[in-house]
Structure 1
Amino acid sequence: MNSRLLFAFLCLASVSTGCIVVDDDHRPAPSVPGDVTFLWTFNGLRCDQARDVYGVNVIIPGESLLNDGKYACNTAGSDGITLHDFAPGSYNFTLQAVNFQNQIIFEASGTFVINGNKTAMVDLAPVGNPTSYALLNWRFPGNMGCGQAGVATVDITLDDMAPRNFDCTVGQSAQGLQTPNLDPGSHFIEFIARAPSGQPLYYFNGELVTQAYNPVAVLYDLYAVGGASISWKFSDGSVTFDCNSLSPSLQIGLNFQDTTTGQWVYGALGDWHNCIDKPIVYSYLKPGTYKVSLYAKTNSGTEYRSNPNIAPILVQAHNFPGPNSALEVTMYRQ
């Protein structure tokens, strides 16, 4: 007979009231102590990507941690930390990523259970103000330095902020030029590189993309620019006349089509000005040949257009025709 069954039979036969039968096969395994390893990311970024993260604070209520729970972001090549010798049981925790000013910029909370060693993978979420900055560098064709390119200063415009003027060399330094703090995402940026006289020589406009909490370093290639000066008059086929003969408030749409690429400088909408503001001087055109297109429509619906077969103009680098050298374009009644 099975010894356990025999023991149970003897218990039943006994007049004793203190006999208890325990089934060892169904006894819970004893809990064991262990270590906890936290592996962390910051809104999906690693330590080498979240460059504003200086360290991570680990808070486990009721536990005294080495260095008051303040740890480096990366230890021994791992983005995380291993804490040793926890008694079996359930623990609450909070992780706080701090920047170099000891401000909390990412945070996460949770629970882990110790019954042997435990690994907790935690993605900390952004907290507070997620703005960050960009470090800007620029260069000129042929990788020229500022002096070689004849550039003294660079005007920079960000979004709808007022343009600011900087010494050219700051954008060719190892550190670069630091922008103000910006919301994460896409921003408009414009560069105008100027000679000591203030004449624009090189230009760029486009996009700057910033990341939450994470500074970005961006290098921009500025290109040489030239100019054009455009004026206009009107014709009904036999008589030519000026703005005052139509309406002083008449709007004129101008555009330049690159004869090499076919692209319009001012897209499908054109660049619009009051008729009486002629001539219009342009200073930021890429060197090349362009077809000039002008259009106007009066309040009564009469349209005027320039001849589509007009000879192209030549825009040369660092050559800027002034108002007195304007090309006068005739617009014909349609």
Structure 2
Amino acid sequence: MDAWRMDPTFAMCEALVDGAELSSLAGGPFDVRAVVAGVRPETKDGFLLDEVPWTHFPQGDRVREAVHLLHTRDSPVSDGTGVVGGMCANDMRAAAALAVPFLIRIATDARHPHRADALAETSSPARAGHFGVASRKELLLHRGDTRYNDDYDDYGVEVTGYPAGWSVTAARAAITADTALLQPLLDDPDPIIRIDAAYALATATDRDHSVRTAFRTRLAAEQDPIVRAALVLATAEATRAHPHPATTTWVREQWRDRTQAPEVCLAAAIGWLCLTDGAAPNDLRATVDHLATDERAHVMEALPWMVFAGGSGETGLQRCVRTMLHPELPEPDDDPWALLL
């Protein structure tokens, strides 16, 4: 952190803490949203990393080096995507957002040995405050657009003092700009790639519903029940950001369809609850209570939504069921090792 205090962006963050107006800094050289928007396509495609002002943001030089090593395949994956994931886990996303376009291009390289790891980290900067979150209100929530205004209270600030909403918005914009690269990954032979592509695409701005349409198109051909569950959750997440009553009805039909795999029914039930605010109907409660076995809860940990929703000794599915349908039950004691036993 001492090195970060020498960075010019620290002065910006310190000024914000002291009461400066964020709007006066919007669009400037330390606004990661503006920086991401200004990265040329040729810079992304050619991995011209020196054209990106990494050092304007906390630990940016470390992220730049990690992207370089990952791209050139000269590094263990822990030194590449692990840097991005670690920084997001430590609530420092600004520089990680700059890595998103490059992670996407590594993920689309079928010959790259770490493409799956790159794709898994692509959406990490695009989600904030989601660890252990399993409520109907917040599990699939995309908060307000904070592109060029000073309202960032929905996300608050990162540990450095940098506005977290700016980082998240920049990462989502980067994913949105490259949806044409990510969508073909929904048809990848590797089911893990298909799941993580859906997870990343679910954060894209989808005002024309093209991403949601891609999810539905892939679902029509998908045979793997866990991937099908991912596509349903991704559809629900996209619909949470861009409401579409017909899609909400379609999600309801999925959990009521007894021909669907149990994992799909459970994903649809959770997705539908996040899209509505009325009392859960009795048939949904009965379906979830019947299908949400401990064994199935562990199977569904293959879904990143469930991985990040878990906590306090519960799997993501268990936590979602308790939080959404049985809020009267107490939260388990916080035992970080419980899921490893």
Which category describes the TM-score, using the shorter chain as reference length? under 0.3
Greater helix proportion: 2
TM-score in terms of structure 1 length: 0.21
Whose strand proportion is higher, 1 or 2?
1
TM-score normalised to structure 2 length: 0.20
Q: Which has the larger radius of gyration?
A: 1
